């Protein structure tokens, strides 16, 4: 049985945040929001069934796939305790309630099974998560403080910025884990590297150093590094690390090879011959309980009985025999999920918008559906982000095309530009969705580079 809620300690970070958690339900226009953090994005089929039932029984039935591989339940009514208890009873909470906010470690959905990986990072991920849960000082971190652990997989989110990221590289025949701060492997080189068996100690040293040097207003690594040079920060980390840091041009000049875009949708060959992962996009990040239940049923019937949520607002069934992959894809498609990257909707991201967020200037979800239909009519598939305000909650990195709401039904259009900050190059202002559709269709026909 679950202990009474009154007996559970609550997470009390010294850097408070309005971010929802499992134990902290935050209000929105459509009701409360609860965020369920999933280790490596993974939950069992049975847990997925519980989430679906909780969304129906305690909320409006809206489940969201987040851009860091977690789940959210929206529209929660008055019985917060009942919702939380049902999720905790299913094992969907932390082993230490005080750590719920800080379990922010992102992995590839194919970690441990990817044919291109250099390291199986799952054991290291387990060590890091254990430290985040049970090291009392780490509970002082901001709920937004996040880590990324890359194993060199062919399917990996490399663009999301993280406070600490780790990525494997080979130097003189030896595999090391390079690491960097306040950035991501897609655009940054490591500042140093360690042997894989020293990586857990390195992570602990980095987090302890951050907490020792940061003031309460330094919620993120980027805030601290504005005042503390990286070289000085590294000196403090090195003093805490039991093994030496490798700081060599072969490390600091290295760059991560890119991965194939939209490989998270459709079939993906695993390292074991004849075994596949099958991925499906969640339309605009919204899962109906029926979708989650059908994915869980398929995971039990044809996979390993687990689902993996991905950083692309999609889900994946792993360890599916190749002979069953078509059946699984058909089942996911019939449930309303997106199994073809050529579908316009599979590449469109939209925040909650004015329908459920007080800061939203436009109904981004409805406008995104309209835009997807316009693009689909012209067989155009573009990566587009619709944001109801400048906070960009739905996209953790700048997407190739951003529509920033200016008023209901009207948007400013930006194209990503490597030399420009923010959303990029402002191409046009105050466009209707119809005008955006026509412009993107014309642009796609003249330029295939997203």
CATH number of 185's domain? 3.30.413.10
Residues 240 and 169 in one domain: yes
Residue 329 domain boundaries: 266-341
- Per DSSP (E only), the strands in 201-359 are 266-269, 275-281, 286-287, 306-309, 314-321, 348-350
What pLDDT score was predicted for residue 444?
A: 83
Residue 259, in any domain of the structure: no
Query: Domain end: 341, 368, 386, which one?
Result: 341
Residue 109, in any domain of the structure: no
What parts of the chain have a pLDDT lower than 70? 1-18, 447-450
Residue 110, in any domain of the structure: no
Residues 369 and 435 in one domain: yes
What pLDDT score was predicted for residue 16?
A: 52
pLDDT in tens, 389-403: 999 999 999 999 999
User: d(Cα 303, Cα 321) in Å, to the nearest integer?
Assistant: 8
Residues 238 and 309 in one domain: no
pTM score, whole prediction: 0.93
CATH number at residue 295: 3.90.480.10
Residues 126 and 233 in one domain: yes
Residue 104, in any domain of the structure: no
Residue 105, in any domain of the structure: no
Residues 292 and 366 in one domain: no
Residues 31 and 10 in one domain: yes
Residue 73, in any domain of the structure: yes
Residues 138 and 228 in one domain: yes
Calculate ∠ Cα 345-351-357, nearest 5°. Answer: 140
For the chain, give the longest Cα–Cα distance. Answer: 62
Provide the number of structural domains found in the chain: 4
Query: Domain end: 201, 227, 252, which one?
Result: 252
Residues 87 and 126 in one domain: no
Residues 86 and 173 in one domain: no
Strands 105-106 and 147-149: parallel
- Torsion-angle region of residue 66: left (phi > 0), alpha (psi -120 to 50) or beta? beta
Query: Domain end: 195, 230, 252, which one?
Result: 252
CB 406 within 8 A of CB 412: yes
């Amino acid at each position: 049985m679950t202990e009474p809620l009154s007996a559970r300690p609550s997470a009390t970070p010294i850097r408070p945040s309005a971010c929802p958690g499992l134990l902290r339900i935050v209000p929105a226009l459509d009701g409360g929001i609860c965020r369920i953090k999933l280790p490596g994005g993974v939950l069992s089929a049975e847990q997925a069934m519980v989430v679906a039932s909780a969304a129906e029984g305690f909320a409006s039935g809206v489940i969201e796939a987040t851009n860091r591989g977690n789940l959210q339940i929206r529209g929660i009514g008055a019985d917060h305790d009942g919702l939380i208890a049902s999720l905790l009873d299913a094992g969907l909470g932390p082993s230490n309630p005080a750590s719920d906010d800080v379990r922010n470690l992102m992995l590839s959905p194919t970690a441990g099974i990817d044919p291109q990986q250099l390291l199986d990072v799952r054991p290291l991920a387990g060590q890091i998560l254990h430290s985040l849960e049970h090291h009392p000082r780490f509970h002082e971190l901001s709920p937004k403080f996040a880590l990324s652990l890359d194993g060199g997989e062919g399917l990996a989110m490399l663009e999301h910025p993280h406070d600490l990221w780790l990525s494997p590289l080979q130097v003189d025949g030896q595999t090391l884990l390079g690491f960097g701060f306040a950035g991501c492997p897609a655009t940054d080189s490591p500042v140093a590297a360690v042997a894989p068996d020293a990586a857990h100690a390195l992570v602990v040293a980095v987090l302890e150093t951050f907490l020792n040097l940061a003031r309460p207003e330094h919620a993120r690594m980027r805030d601290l590094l504005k005042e503390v040079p990286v070289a000085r920060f590294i000196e403090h980390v090195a003093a805490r690390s039991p093994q030496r840091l490798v700081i060599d041009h072969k490390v600091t000049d290295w760059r991560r090879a890119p991965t194939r875009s939209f490989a998270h949708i459709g079939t993906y060959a695993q390292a074991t011959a004849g075994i596949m992962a099958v991925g499906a996009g969640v339309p605009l990040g919204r899962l109906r309980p029926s979708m989650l239940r059908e994915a869980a049923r398929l995971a039990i019937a044809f996979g390993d009985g687990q689902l993996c949520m991905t950083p692309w607002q999609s889900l994946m069934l792993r360890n599916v025999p190749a002979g069953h992959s078509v059946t699984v894809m058909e089942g996911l498609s019939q449930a309303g999920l997106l199994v073809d990257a050529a579908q316009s909707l599979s590449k469109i991201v939209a925040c909650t918008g004015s329908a459920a967020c007080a800061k939203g200037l436009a109904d981004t979800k409805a406008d995104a559906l309209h835009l997807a239909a316009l693009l689909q009519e012209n067989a155009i598939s573009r990566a587009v982000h619709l944001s109801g305000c400048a906070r960009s909650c739905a996209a953790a990195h700048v997407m190739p095309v951003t529509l920033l709401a200016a008023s209901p039904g009207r948007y400013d259009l930006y194209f990503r530009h490597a030399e420009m900050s923010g959303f990029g190059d402002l191409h046009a202002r105050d466009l209707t969705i119809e005008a955006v559709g026509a412009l993107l269709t014309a642009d796609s026909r003249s330029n295939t580079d997203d």
